[in-house]
Amino acid sequence: MRSVFICLLFLTTFSYGSDIDFSGFATLKAVKTDSHTAKIRESISQPHGVERDELDFSFSSLGLQAEWHASDNLELVGQLLLKEQHDDRVKNAIKLAFLRYHLNSNWQFRAGRTGLDLFLMTEYRDIGYSMDMEHPPVEFYSIIPHQNLDGVDMQYRTPLDQGIASIKAYWGRSESPIYSDYEFFWNVELKSILGVAVQYETLNWLFRANYTTTQAANEHEQQKQLRDALTQVPLQVWPTKNELIDSLYIIDKRFTYSAVSMRYDDSNWLLQSEISLTDSNSSVLNHLKAGYITLGKRFDLNTLSITYSVAKSDNEPSVEPGPLVPLPELMQIYEAASMHSGFYQLDQHSTSLTWRRELSPTLALKFNWKHTSADHLPSAFYLHNTEQFSDPDLSFNTFTLSFNWVF
């Protein structure tokens, strides 16, 4: 953490006397749940989950951003985000670090670390003050842990008779951690990310579509160890072992992501929705559908909004049945392999209600109640009290109170 603060101090000092715009944002958040099985988190890249009867503040964050205007056409943008993570290397804290060049009023080019533009709220998903909901819907925004793209993008933007249209193409790679039970950690690398996003804005409406394709660049060491162990088991003992071995191959597998979204905001009413399909030629992830819809109403300094979100995968159980001889060693391999191949077997939905109160032009208070129903636990969305798997609570509530500040 020390190195991060040194970088922040450098940016702050450098900004004085220079043509640099310096800004920041912070969220102080308290989270509580009544689930005795699921440890609540907002992303599968979070190493910690909130347990029952625990008031947790680990979802809080601090962000700082600097924009250096080198010329009328050239800018350098950097953003650091401090939050709980696996380690405190500066590399992990750098959310944005790119050079932006405006060729003219229509064309824009960026190179470096940018936001991976999969979502409607990609550019501000970490800035709590910028959204009326308390946080982006878990069922939609937590499916893909990767938030950043190390690469290049270009955007063409042009006015039309009734609005503004834009198209963006991007290419690069990305990495992000995934945490699961039993202290499982995997820094997932994606390569050859190639995507396009099309957007149209008119009056109070915004419409957007995205398509992205990528390949897995690495695998967890345990996956190779499990394949090696399975090859030693005779087919007579485990007739379906080859299916499980195939499911553990991930490197160079192709993944695709498609999404459409819309937003309506006339300062009184808010309507926002996104739906997506994530697919691959790997048995780990097949036809994972997700979506949400939010309806909000503003009353002076207050906003009330309700959100319904859902995520469902068509994945079949990874292996059926397991070994014919239930030896402890074989069952241990079966359980570990099933965790890998069945990570994205998801089926749950949530309904949440958010109250937002503007305390000042730069400070907002938000309270959120969310009720979640899951078809089964464990789930990739959460960490778990593993001793409760025999009797999981598949319906539970989460309460969040946060102060959101921009400066």
Instruction: Enumerate residues 6+ apart whose C-beta is below 8 A from 326.
Output: none
Q: Which two tokens stand for residue 85?
A: 């993570």
Residue 257 neighbours by CB under 8 Å, 6+ apart: 118, 144, 195, 210, 211, 212, 213, 214, 276, 277, 278
Q: What average pLDDT does the chain have?
A: 91
Alpha carbon dihedral 103, 104, 106, 107, in 10-degree steps, equals: 0
Residue 52: which of 398, 316, 403, 402 has the closest Cα?
398
Residue 106 belongs to a domain: yes
Predicted confidence at residue 363, as pLDDT, reads 98
Task: Report yes or no on 145 lying in a domain.
Answer: yes
Residue 318's closest CA among 248, 400, 223?
A: 248
What is the Cα–Cα distance from 325 to 230, expressed in whole angstroms? 14
Contacts for 324 with CB less than 8 Å, ≥ 6 apart: 236, 237, 238, 239
Whole-number Å distance between alpha carbons of 69 and 87 = 32
Q: Any idea what the Cα angle at residue 250 is, between residues 249 and 252, rounded to 5°?
A: 115
User: DSSP for 326-377?
Assistant: --HHHHHHHHHHHHHHTTT--EEEEEEEEEEEEEETTEEEEEEEEEEEESSS
Question: 404: which residues sit within 8 A by CB, 6+ positions away?
Answer: 25, 26, 27, 127, 128, 129, 363, 364, 365, 366
Residue 8: inside a domain:
no
Q: Is residue 86 a part of any domain in this protein?
A: no
Residue 75 lies in a domain: no
Give the span between the Cα atoms of 246 and 194, in whole angstroms: 26
Instruction: Render the burial of 38-77: b for 16+ CB within 10 Å, e for the rest.
Output: bbbbbbbbbbebbbbeeebebbbbbbbbbbbeeeeeebeb
The burial class, CB within 10 Å (0-12 / 13-18 / 19+), for 102 is middle
Is 29 a domain residue? no
> Rounded to whole angstroms, how far apart are CA atoms 318 and 321?
9
Nearest to 154 by CA among 165, 174, 168, 171: 168
pLDDT in tens, 139-185: 999 989 999 999 999 999 999 989 999 999 999 999 999 999 988 89
> In b/e form, how buried is each residue of 321-341, taking b as 16+ CB within 10 angstroms?
ebbeeeeeebeebbebbbbbb
Number of H helices, E strands in the chain: 6, 18
Q: CATH number for the domain including 162? A: 2.40.160
Domain housing 213: 101-406
Q: Are strands 383-384 and 38-39 parallel, antiparallel or unpaired?
A: antiparallel
- Is the residue at 16 inside a domain? no
Ramachandran quadrant class, 290 (left: phi over 0; alpha: psi -120 to 50; beta: rest) = beta
Q: What is the pLDDT of residue 1?
A: 39
Note if the pTM is more than 0.75.
yes
- The number of domains in the chain is 1
Residue 287 in any domain: the answer is: yes
Residues of the chain with pLDDT under 70: 1-18, 86-89, 315-321
CB atoms within 10 A of CB 100: 19
End-to-end Cα distance, the chain: 22
CB 282 within 8 A of CB 291: no
